[in-house]
Chain A
Amino acid sequence: MGCLSWFNMVEILVLIKQVPDTNAKIEIKDGKADLSMVKWITSPYDEYALEVALQHKEAVGGTVTALTLGPARCDKILKDAKALGVDNIARIDAPEGYLDSFSVQSMLAEACNSLGAEIIYCGKAAADTNAGSTGPGVAEKLGWPSVANVTNIIFGESSLELMQPSFEGQAKIGVNLPAVITCDKGMGEPRRANVKGIMMAKRANVDLIGVETVGGNTSVVGHASPPDKPPGKSFDGSEHVSTVVKLLRDEANVI
Chain B
Amino acid sequence: MSEIIILAEVINNTLKESTAEVVTAALSLGGNPILIVPGTSPDSAASMAATYEGVGSVIALQDDCFSNFDSAAWCEAIASVAPPGHLLTSSSSMGKELAARLAVSRNSTIIQDVIKIEGSNITHPIYSGKAHETVSLNGPSVMTIRSNVFKPSGNGGSASISNVNTSSNLRTSLKEMVAKASERLDVSEADIIISGGRGMGSPNNFEKLYSIADKLGAAVGASRAAVDTWEEIPHSMQVGQTGKTVNPSLYIAVGISGAIQHLAGMRTSKYIVAINKDGTAPIFRHADYGIIATWEEALPILEQELGTLLG
Q: Do A and B come from one complex?
A: yes
Residues of A within 8 A of B (CB): 20, 22-23, 25-26, 28, 33, 44-45, 100-102, 105, 127-137, 139-141, 144-149, 151, 161, 163, 165-175, 184-186, 216-226, 229, 232-242, 244-245, 247-249, 252, 254-255
Whether the Cβ atoms of B132 and A25 lie closer than 8 Å is no
Out of B110, B192, B290, name the residue touching A101 (CB < 8 Å): B110
**List of 7 A-B pairs having minimum Cβ-Cβ separation, nearest first:** A145-B171, A238-B297, A133-B100, A238-B293, A140-B104, A234-B290, A169-B181
**B109 proximal to A (CB < 8 A):** yes
Chain A residues lying within 8 Å of B284, measured Cβ to Cβ, are 232, 234
Q: Which residues of A contact B272 (CB under 8 A)?
A: 232
**Known A252-B288, A255-B216; further 7 A-B contacts with Cβ < 8 A:** A23-B261, A44-B241, A127-B127, A169-B177, A218-B122, A244-B289, A252-B271
Q: Judging by beta carbons under 8 Å apart, are B250 and A248 in contact?
A: yes
* B225 is an interface residue with CB less than 8 A from chain A: no
Whether A221 and B141, one on each chain, are in contact in the complex, defined by CB atoms closer than 8 angstroms, is no
Q: Hey, what's the 0/1 contact readout for B104-134 against A, CB within 8 Å counting as 1?
A: 1101111111000000011001111111111
With known contacts A137-B110, A140-B75, A235-B292, A254–B105 Cβ distance under 8 A: no
Of the candidates A130, A174, A185, the one whose C-beta lies within 8 Å of that of B175 is A174
B208 at the interface (CB under 8 A from A): no
22 A–B contacts from the bound complex (CB under 8 Å): A26-B131, A101-B100, A130-B245, A137-B110, A139-B101, A140-B105, A146-B72, A147-B172, A169-B180, A172-B176, A172-B177, A219-B138, A221-B136, A223-B126, A225-B130, A225-B131, A232-B272, A241-B302, A244-B289, A249-B309, A254-B249, A255-B306
Interface residue B179 (Cβ < 8 Å from any Cβ of A): yes
User: Does more than half of chain A's interface fall in helix, strand or loop, or is it mixed?
Assistant: mixed
Residues of B at the A interface (CB closer than 8 Å) are 11, 69-72, 75, 93-94, 96-101, 103-105, 107-113, 121-122, 125-139, 141, 171-181, 192, 216, 235-236, 241-242, 245, 249-250, 260-261, 264, 267-268, 270-273, 279, 284, 286-294, 297-298, 301-302, 305-306, 309-310
CA distance A167 to B132 in the complex (A): 29
- B111 and A136 contact, CB distance less than 8 A: no
A188 CB → nearest B CB, Å: 12
Complex contacts, B126 vs chain A, CB 8 Å: 33, 128-130, 223
**Given A171-B174, A217-B109, A254-B270, also A226-B250 (CB < 8 A):** no
Whether A170 lies near B177 (C-beta < 8 A) is yes
B224 to chain A, nearest CB (A): 9
A-B interface pairs (CB < 8 A), number: 266
Is B108 a contact partner of A102 (Cβ separation < 8 A)?
yes
A137 vs B112: C-alpha distance in the bound complex, in angstroms? Answer: 13
How far is B139's CA from A153's CA once the two chains are assembled, in angstroms? Answer: 39
Question: In the bound complex, what is the Cα–Cα distance between A145 and B73 (angstroms)?
Answer: 8
Q: Which B residues are CB-close (under 8 A) to A242?
A: 301, 305
Which chain A residue has the least Cβ–Cβ distance from B177?
A: A169
Q: Which residues of B contact A23 (CB under 8 A)?
A: 260-261
List A contacts of B171 (CB < 8 A): 144-145, 175
Question: What residues of A have a CB within 8 angstroms of the CB of B297 in the complex?
Answer: 238
